[in-house]
Amino acid sequence: MRVLVVEDEPDVAEALVWGLRAEGYVVDATDDGTDGLWMATENAYDVIVLDVMLPGLDGYQVAKRLRERERWTPILMLTAMDDDLDHAEGLDSGADDYLSKPFSYPVLLAHLRSLTRRTLGARPA
């Protein structure tokens, strides 16, 4: 499975990349929203792990622009922003799931498995 991680906290990004690769995932990573949007548009991923507070474009903007371009790759927002309104904004911007930091690694893996199980092809806009 191919995963794009868009995370600007170096320790979190490194842990995610290392852990996902250890689980057998193929992982690309960037620390910038603009680069994340480009990578998600130019490459095929099975799932995107997307932080909200990013340089360039924030995670909400990245998700919204991907959906506007009819890119239906499942998106898991992984963010320290855990308020109910943040959660709602993330889902309304186009994310498929939302997980707050700090997070449990086994729960993150379960969310990723869940997202990829329900992906059955192109979705309507």
pLDDT by residue (tens digit) across 49-90?
999 999 999 999 999 999 999 999 999 999 888 788 888 998
Among the listed residues 28, 24, 15, the one whose alpha carbon sits nearest the alpha carbon of residue 103: 15
pLDDT at 117 over 90: no
Q: Which single residue is written with the structure tokens 């792990």? A: 49
Q: Where are the domains of the chain?
A: 2-115
What span, in angstroms and rounded, lies between the C-alpha atoms of 75 and 23? 19
Task: Using the CB atoms, write b or e for 47-60: b if 16+ within 10 Å.
Answer: bbbbbbebebbbbb
pLDDT at 124 over 90: no
- pLDDT category at 108 given cuts 50, 70, 90 is very high
pLDDT for 26-51, tens place per residue? 999 999 999 999 999 999 999 999 99
Query: Could you tell me the fold of the domain covering 2-115?
Result: Rossmann fold (3.40.50)
User: What pTM was computed for the model?
Assistant: 0.91
